[in-house]
Structure 1
Amino acid sequence: MAENMILVEEARDIVLDHVGQMPRVRVPVWKAAGLPLAEDVVTDIDLSPFANSAMDGYAVVAADLTGASEGAPVELDVVGHEAAGHVFSDRVEPGHAVRIMTGAPVPEGADAVVKYEVVQVLEGDGNEGSRIRFSAPAKVGENIRVAGLEAHAGEAVLRAGDVVTPAGCGLLASAGASEVTVHAAPRVGIIALGTELVSPDQVPARGQIRDANSAALMAATVTAGAEPEFFGIAPDDPVAIEQLVLKAAETCDFVVTSGGASAGDYDYVTALVEREGQVLFDHISMKPGKAITFGLLAGKPFLGLSGNPAAAVVGFEMLARPAIRKMRGFSAFDRPVQMARVDREIKKRQARRFYNRAHVERDAAGELVVTEAPSQNSALLGTLQRANCLLKVADGFEGIPAGGMAEVVRIDIPEGTVL
């Protein structure tokens, strides 16, 4: 396939067009936190199932307190006690009150709750058998949370596509859901390519380097919502590479390699995909990471990233992460983007779009100011570790003057966040 660079947006759309949502699975409700639901969840009861007190106080018949004031107080007898798990089964008759705790069901006959602090206890300890005084009227419904305030039986409390929060887990549980349906986590096969690579627990000899990409890409896979599986390091040998890559394609839902994607003598990835599957693109107008191959192997999406560590991570961020999110059922694929003022001139000598590692923060006046990392060497991971954004410099040869405005992609903030 001839070198033909496409825009980042085109590449992203191609990737998204060739992945679909994973099969549905049932998980315990607490494991759904942070995930979108695959099905609506309907409550089988009213939430709450009964009218309950919004505070500690006394359940009364509001009409009893009509005209109550400091000069003309109303006195009532306390005939019962209502607490969570302790139900007053009798009806509250005029002239009577029931001591009630927050969340307890409002007893039959009562239509208002007066908070404890404004009630004077005349006799007893305030509980059953006591005599109490009210110096103000009460409104019908005062301090009462009605039945079905959250939802009525048969209504959906959360819908398919809603991302569940910890509070949402509690809401689902109150609706009777001990398990919910989500889209399964895709398995992502990770392979490092290069004879020069050794595992992190080895001391590299001259000409060797430790495999940093696999750890970074597996971590990126986890944070995107997928399950990584490491298939190892393949030397610069077409047979060894083919064996590992095809094995991963057989057992995983998505395959990601790093290395072997550019135009060097020992770069075999594009040729392998072209021979065994279909290459959909192999160059992107992006720096870092121009040489990125995407295609299909055994019907599975395959992404061949650069061997340069920072380029591999940025390529994963821009292409694999949105794909994984789609596979898990998310509808938001893009990191938040902000406009920020650059603190120094951003020079550009290539036509590709730049995604420079940078850090953005607000200055004393509250304005967003972005500072690019001192080095944009694609072999360096430390600058990406310290970055909270990617400073976007548009396609073409024009840079950004000091004080100019630039888009920054907030890689530290989840997709769908409103800034």
Structure 2
Amino acid sequence: MSEQMISVEKARAIVLEHIHPMPEEHLEAWRAVGLPLAADATTDIDLSPFANSAMDGYAVRTADLADASDARPVTLKVTGHEAAGHVFTGEVSPGEAVRIMTGAPVPAGADAVVKYEIVEVTGGDGSGNEGALATFRAPAKPGENIREAGLEAHAGDVIMHAGEVVTAAGAGLLTSAGVAEVAVRRAPRVGILSVGTELVPPTEQPQRGQIRDANGPALMAAALDADAEPRFFGIVADDEDAIAQAVLEMVESCDFVVTSGGASAGDYDYIEALVQREGEVLFDRISMRPGKAITFGLVRGVPFLGLSGNPAAACVGFEMLARPAIRAMRGHTLLERPLERARVTHNVRKRQERRFYDRARVARDPETGEATVTEERSQNSALLGTLHRANCLLMVPEGLQGYTAGDEATCVRIDLPEGAEL
């Protein structure tokens, strides 16, 4: 195994170079929420398709109200009404008004809508509709309270571009444009395998020398959170043939394969030899703590990531390398978590040259509003509780021996989605 370490950025770039977008599938627009479109979506009609009222009121001709005032109020005859399921097909003539509801089409002849609350209504049956008289005490401006046809988009316009992530509002926009189904990239099938003779499933009581497998569920959850379709292939002992059989089974049905744990002869010895034999090893050391020993390569053409058996190291390695790859395969263009600058609340020291990603929490100073960051007490890579409680990874770069309390540091906000604004 090579002892040469590469940077996290170079490792991530290598991983991204060797993955491919997933094939397209079609989903109902509302089911695509949170997913990027695989193709542009266009509208088949103007949005909205007609000029409509922005509020409840009366559709009028502004010329009729040009001289309206408290001293000289203008009274118009109400000749019709526009409401849900009731369209006024006539024209507003001089001296007339039409009662109109929010969203209803503005009738021909009218060029403004006066809101209901400032109109005095008398006569008729008390509904304010046909037969009533409407009195106005101020002029109206052309276009007042009218949403023009095509205000949002015109027929043939792209309303959502490929790569844009569908929101709840976006699903409604797509549907209003006649786009009932959208093209998205299907979820990549990510195989997860836990390696270790000492591992037992969570349903078993561990005996002396045994531990429950925490990596499998943690990495399955991480894959699901990254928009993948995770598939668990169980626990395999530190046996070269058993590991090879399991991995080769995984590459037959998965788009990306992730293992955690090494072999009894030495961490990753069996793993790297397998990848080398069945494909290509692209790197096997990263300048990162936790998680230096990470093997990435191709096994029969399928991307393979071999992570540390230490739970926190496995999760950090997945976060830095597998998560962006999975998101890219799904069609996402934002692949990195937000970075935040924060002042460390205590001295931070490191003895190794590698870049550290320490589990920590960012908070806001209640008086100044300034971001501060505090490490979890233990950075032991076997502990998941510290990562569970953390909302960031405090980065201590290569070449830096640490921080003094009050220094500014960069934090990877693992609690926020890619693209989030701080």
The interval holding the TM-score normalised by the smaller chain is over 0.9
* Contiguous gaps of at least 5 residues in structure 1: none
Residue 251 (structure 2) pairs with residue 226 (structure 1):
no
User: What pairs with 1:2-401 in structure 2 (closer than 5 Å)?
Assistant: 2-124=2-124, 125=126, 126-260=128-262, 264=266, 267-363=269-365, 364-396=367-399, 398-401=401-404
Q: CA deviation at 1:110?
A: 1.1
Q: CA deviation at 1:38?
A: 0.8
Q: CA deviation at 1:403?
A: 1.2
Change (3 A) 1:354 1:266: closer
Q: CA deviation at 1:335?
A: 0.6
Cα separation, 2, equivalents of 1:66 and 1:246: 82
Contact 2:238 2:263 survives alignment (8 Å): no
Cα separation, 1, equivalents of 2:265 and 2:29: 48
In structure 2, give the amino acid aligned to 1:386.
Answer: R
Q: CA deviation at 1:276?
A: 1.0
* Contiguous gaps of at least 5 residues in structure 2: none
Change (3 A) 1:262 1:139: farther
Cα separation, 1, equivalents of 2:134 and 2:280: 83
Query: Where does structure 1 differ by over 2 angstroms across 4 or more consecutive aligned residues?
Result: none
Residue 413 (structure 2) pairs with residue 410 (structure 1):
yes
Change (3 A) 1:149 1:251: same
Aligned residues: 419
Question: Cα deviations across residues 194-244 of structure 1 (Å, max 9, x unaligned)?
Answer: 010010111111111001101000100011111000111000111111111
In structure 2, give the amino acid aligned to 1:141.
Answer: G
Q: State the TM-score, normalized to the length of structure 2.
A: 0.97
Aligned to 1:67, the other structure's residue is in SS state coil
Q: CA deviation at 1:93?
A: 1.0
Note the aligned Cα RMSD (angstroms).
1.2
Contact 2:268 2:306 survives alignment (8 Å): no
In structure 1, give the amino acid aligned to 2:416.
Answer: I
Q: CA deviation at 1:263?
A: 7.3
Question: Cα deviations across residues 95-129 of structure 1 (Å, max 9, x unaligned)?
Answer: 11111000111111111100000000122321211
Cα separation, 1, equivalents of 2:2 and 2:415: 36
Aligned to 2:139, the other structure's residue is in SS state coil
Aligned to 1:268, the other structure's residue is in SS state helix
Q: State the TM-score, normalized to the length of structure 1.
A: 0.98
Cα separation, 1, equivalents of 2:264 and 2:96: 85
